[in-house]
């Protein structure tokens, strides 16, 4: 088992990582495997698998109202294990605050430890489906830094209950950063202080939310360094190759898409030309990041390999 932070610190070339999301309930994992196989020539060094809160519904059964969590995309831990076994690539399991009490979090971490999945991206997570605001579970975590602190304590052998001779876990902890600030934060400076707290609690590297302007990332890194955040910061990018994504991505992820990218896709006469224009824009962005000497590049594939492959084929540079 290789720790992500060790790869970032030791690699002479830029570390490529991918992010996928589990298939919907009832769907096969085969498409994920096919897309990973298509991207193997680019030598991805780790793959993140997202985790999603359940949608809680209340149903009447035999005259009793019961609470039933319905998870649309189960299987995060299973997919992590399957990828490790099939492709021998390190996986990073997302772990969120939402839907877990502290005891359930501890149980989940023990399971991950037993499965030798020791790279974790610790997140608060989005509000549950159907909710406008994030609501933690009773005796759960409300913020990512609290989750990171719990993982860090387990790495020191500190569990919720006092135990005799407990084993120390050995998790490598990643955290999320937001170059354009988290949508709930009043400004970027306050958001960066929240990020610093995650690092102080034990986060060893940062993966950013997607962005589409190099200067946005550069300013974010400089401000982070100015306030004492020294851990590696990996930029996260996502290919945009069609008009639908131009509206869906800002609505879902609260990020800005520059006019140049919007125009290049909206003014394309064919779908093929829009795909090419969007890919070229993102490749130029990625090459600027490579020149900026980033430690790694994280691509949000969401399980779709065609646009990611087209993007990676365009990248250049001696360290790529």
pLDDT of res. 57: 57
Q: Is the pTM of this model over 0.75?
A: yes
Tell me, yes or no, whether 235 lies in a domain. yes
Tell me, yes or no, whether 268 lies in a domain. yes
Tell me, yes or no, whether 175 lies in a domain. yes
**C-beta contacts of 242-245 below 8 A and 24+ residues apart:** 242/271, 242/274, 242/275, 242/278, 243/274
- Tell me which residues of the chain have a pLDDT lower than 50: none
Tell me, yes or no, whether 3 lies in a domain. no
Tell me how many degrees the CA angle 163-165-171 measures, rounded to the nearest 5. 90
Domain of residue 300: give its range.
14-314
State the total domains in the chain.
1
Tell me, yes or no, whether 7 lies in a domain. no
Tell me, yes or no, whether 68 lies in a domain. yes
Q: What is the CATH number of the domain that holds 29?
A: 3.20.20.220
* Euclidean distance between the first and the last CA atom of the chain, given in angstroms as a whole number: 24
CA distance 180 to 249: 14
Question: HSE on the CB side for 141, CA within 13 Å?
Answer: 24
pLDDT of res. 317: 63
User: How buried is residue 225: exposed, middle or buried, by Cβ count under 10 Å (0-12/13-18/19+)?
Assistant: exposed
Cβ neighbour number for residue 300 with a 10 Å cutoff: 21
Tell me, yes or no, whether 5 lies in a domain. no
Tell me, yes or no, whether 169 lies in a domain. yes
List, for residues 32-63, the tens digit of each pLDDT value. 999 999 999 999 999 999 998 876 655 666 76
């Amino acid at each position: 088992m290789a720790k992500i932070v060790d790869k970032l610190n030791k690699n002479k070339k830029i570390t490529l990582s991918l992010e996928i999301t589990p298939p919907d309930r009832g769907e096969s994992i085969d498409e994920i495997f096919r897309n990973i196989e298509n991207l193997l020539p680019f030598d991805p060094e780790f793959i993140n698998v997202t985790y999603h809160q359940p949608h809680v519904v209340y149903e009447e059964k035999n005259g009793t109202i019961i609470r039933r969590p319905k998870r649309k995309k189960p299987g995060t831990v299973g997919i992590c294990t399957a990828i490790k076994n099939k492709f021998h690539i390190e996986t990073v399991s997302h772990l969120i605050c939402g839907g877990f009490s502290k005891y359930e979090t501890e149980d989940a971490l023990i399971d991950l430890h037993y499965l030798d999945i020791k790279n974790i991206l610790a997140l608060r997570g989005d509000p549950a489906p159907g909710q406008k605001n994030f609501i933690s579970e009773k005796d759960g975590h409300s913020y990512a830094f609290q989750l990171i602190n719990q993982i860090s304590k387990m790495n020191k052998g500190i569990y919720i209950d006092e135990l005799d001779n407990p084993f120390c876990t050995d998790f490598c902890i990643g955290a999320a950063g937001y170059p354009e600030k988290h949508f709930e934060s009043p400004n970027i400076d306050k958001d960066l202080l929240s990020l610093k707290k995650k690092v102080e609690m034990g986060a060893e590297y940062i993966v950013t939310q997607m962005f589409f302007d190099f200067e946005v990332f550069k300013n974010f890194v400089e401000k982070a360094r100015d306030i004492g955040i020294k851990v590696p910061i990996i930029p996260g990018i996502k290919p945009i190759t069609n008009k639908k994504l131009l509206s869906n991505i800002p609505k879902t992820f609260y990020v800005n898409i520059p006019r140049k990218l919007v125009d290049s896709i909206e003014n394309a006469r064919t779908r093929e030309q829009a795909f090419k224009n969007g890919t070229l824009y993102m490749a130029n962005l990625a090459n600027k990041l490579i020149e900026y000497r980033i430690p790694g590049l994280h691509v949000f594939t969401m399980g779709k390999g065609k646009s990611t492959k087209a993007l990676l084929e365009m990248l250049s540079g001696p360290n790529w």
